[in-house]
Structure 1
Amino acid sequence: MELRQLRYFVAIVDHGSLSRAAVVLHVAQPALTQQLRQLEQDLGAQLLHRTAQGVHSTDAGKVFYEHAQAILKQVADARSAVTQSARPSGSVTLGLPHSISGALALPLLTAARQHYPDITLQLTEELTGNLAEQLKSGRVNLAVLFDDGQLTPFATTVLAEESLCFICRADAPWFPGRDVITLQEALQATLILPGLQHGVRPRIEAVAKAAGLATGEVIEINSIAILKSALMAGMGATILPVAPVLPEIDRGAMRALAIHGPAISRTVVLCASRTLPLTNAATAISRLAVDVASELCSSGQWPGATLR
């Protein structure tokens, strides 16, 4: 197996066609087909289905595609680490959960362009469970995750402590005229929450269990955009940080109530692999992320988040 075969395979999948991939790679199509055939023989598995409309990954191909991407990224990072000068340069991929990107993505991207013009910062938005796997495999250099006691495989730096609130449509029947409720009261509502393996859900379940409480009826939705649509449709309420729904709160479409007795918060951490070394560029972005988060907390531009 050769690196060029990995590059060829990824290009074929990305472009959905051997002919288009051949043009982009500047390789004759028969040579590309031969390299693909050799790769499949080496792996002992068919990676692609060929059809008149193009090519599609088999189940084995989908698995191999993820690994091929990770390997090619690590090779690029290794080359960048060797060739970088004192001025950080190169590409850095940072993964952000959906519920954090609204607060952190744009300020971090703006700061990176200002302070490190030679670094290409690629931001990817994913579910936390997916981000952890991508960080382990090397598909992302850094990821913002939540400290749920399962982050031992990673090197971590705390960015902030973020409070969670009870959030519902402005005219919803829950607790009219109140600004504060208890956790027990919050859990009695029909809640729209992410699945157990993602986002705020593990934290809510842990705090509730420690208080001798349990969630009632839960509608599971893993997309922030769909979750907000469900809230506006009156399907239920949620327990989330304020930042993802701040535009809706500001225009009076939603309201947020503080939760006490006990309060719920989550620890936001920046994670890197313990086994894959960071490039100079990734190290610079890591430090910048800490600085940006600190400034956002201190200035109040990250609602509900405080320094820890």
Structure 2
Amino acid sequence: MELRQLRYFVAIVDHGSLSRAALVLHVAQPALTQQLRQLEEELGVQLLHRSAQGVLSTDAGKIFYEHAQAILKQVADARSAVAQSAERPSGSVTLGLPHSISGALALPLLTAARAQYPEITLQLTEELTGNLSDQLKSGRVNLAVLFDDGQLAQFATTPLVEEELRFICRADATYAQGEQALTLAQTLKTTLILPGLQHGVRPRIESVARQAGLVLDQVIEINSIAILKSAILADMGATILPSAPVLDELERGAMHSHRIHSPSISRTVVLCASKNIPLTNAAAAVSRLVQQVSAQLCAGDTWPGATAIAGGTSS
């Protein structure tokens, strides 16, 4: 198996056509077809379905595509690491952010990166936390912001902030009329709209509730912040989230946020890197920048409900 075969295969999938991929790669289509056939023969599976309309990945092709992308990225990172200077880092860095964090962190981080490291191309990808963990393990992202659920031992981690979770509902909902704060037991009596068990805030809420002898009985699972917000505004239920993802709705009065007590709930936001794949100088610079920007946002009260964790160190 050769790197060019991986590049060819990824290009074919990305462009959905052998002919278009051949044009982009400046390779004759018969040669491209031959390399694809050799790759399929070596793997012993069909990677693509061919038709007059183009090509589609088989199930095996979809799996191989993810691995091919990760391998090609690691090769590019290795070349960049050799070439770049520690004093003037350059190259491409991919940082994964959960949906519930990107609203607070993404734009300030992009602005700071452009100002401090103009020769670094910072690529932000917004994903569910479970997906980000898998991408970090495979090397498809260099860094990822995740939540400490006790399952991060496989990564090098740096604590960033402690983020308060609050009960959030439509402004005119009857769940919490006149109440500034609610007990956790009170919040769990409502229909809650939450991500699935493997994503975001859900594991943390389940853990705190279990320790308090409580259970979540009425849950609507939605793994999209945009759809979750629409469901709240449709009065299908309330949620337990940090304030940052619904800040616009809170500021314009469409939603209300209530503190939770007895017990309160928070989550630890951490920056994660692979223990097996070394960081390039550019990725190390972005890692430091994420820590710096997070602390500045907390100090300026522009990351609602978040408190910087002083002296966070990688493990």
Using the size of structure 2 for normalisation, the TM-score is 0.97
Residues 180-237 of structure 1 show CA distances to partners (whole Å, capped at 9, x for unaligned) of 0100000110000000000000000000001111112000000000000000001000
> What does residue 108 of structure 2 align with?
107
Deviations along 1:123-163, one digit per CA (max 9) or x if unpaired, are 00000000000000000000000000000000000110000
Q: Which amino acid aligns with 1:304?
A: G
Q: Provide the residue aligned with 1:127 in structure 2.
A: 128
Aligned to 1:118: 119
Q: Partner of 1:101: helix, strand, or coil?
A: helix
Q: Deviations over 1:8-61 (max 9, x none)?
A: 000000000000000000001010000000000010000000011100000000
Residue in structure 2 matched with residue 136 of structure 1 by the alignment: 137
Secondary structure of the residue that 1:33 maps to in structure 2? helix
Return 5+ residue gaps in structure 2 as ranges. 310-315
What SS does the aligned partner of 1:199 have?
A: coil
- Which residue does 2:230 correspond to in 1? 229
Structure 2 Cα separation of the partners of residues 50 and 246 of structure 1: 47
Identity among equivalent pairs (%): 77
Q: Distance in 2 between matches of 1:5 and 1:215?
A: 50
1:65 aligned partner:
65
In structure 2, C-alpha distance between the alignment counterparts of 1:87 and 1:71, rounded to whole Å: 26
Counterpart residue number, 1:16: 16
Question: Which residue of structure 2 aligns with residue 298 of structure 1?
Answer: 299
Q: How does 1:228-307 map to 2 (within 5 A)?
A: 228-307=229-308
For residue 199 of structure 2, what is the aligned residue in structure 1? Answer: 198
TM-score by length of 1: 1.00
State the AA in 2 paired with 1:129: G
1:149 maps to: 150
Q: Which residue of 1 aligns with 2:313?
A: none
Equivalent-residue separation in structure 2 for 1:157 and 1:242 (angstroms):
22
Letter in 2 for 1:144: V
Q: Report the secondary structure of 1:152's partner residue.
A: coil
The structural deviation recorded for 1:167 is 0.2
Quote the residue 1:2 is aligned against. 2
Cross-structure match for 2:39: 39
> Runs (4+) of structure 1 moved beyond 3 Å?
none
- Mapped to 1, the partners of 2:176 and 2:148 lie a distance apart of 31
Which residue identity is paired with 2:45? A
Letter in 2 for 1:4: R
Instruction: Report the Cα offset of residue 249 of structure 1.
Output: 0.5
- Cα deviation per residue 1:231-284 (whole Å; 9 max; x = unaligned)? 000100000000000000000000000001000000000000000000000000
- Aligned residue-pair number: 308
Aligned-residue RMSD, C-alpha: 0.4
CA distance, structure 1, for counterparts of residue 180 and residue 249 of structure 2: 17
CA distance in 2, matches of 1:25, 1:175: 60
Query: Which residue number corresponds to residue 172 of structure 2?
Result: 171
- C-alpha distance in 2, partners of 1:88/1:104? 22
2:14 aligned counterpart, secondary structure = helix
User: Quick one: which amino acid aligns to residue 189 of structure 2?
Assistant: Q
Q: Which amino acid in the other structure matches residue 213 of structure 1?
A: L
Shift of 1:68: 0.1
Structure 1 regions of 5+ residues with no counterpart? none
2:250 is paired with a residue whose SS is helix
**What residue identity is the alignment partner of 1:131?**
L
Q: Which residue of 2 aligns with 1:55?
A: 55
Matched residues in 1 for 2:102 and 2:308: separation? 18
Paired with 1:34 and 1:9, the residues of 2 have a C-alpha distance of 11
Shift of 1:177: 1.3
Distance 2:299 2:245 in 1: 19
Q: Distance in 1 between matches of 2:63 and 2:100?
A: 28
**Whole-angstrom CA distance in 2 between matches of 1:160 and 1:53:** 49
In 2, the alpha carbon distance for the partners of 1:233 and 1:29 equals 52
> CA offset at residue 175 of structure 1?
1.5
1:232 maps to a residue whose letter is: L
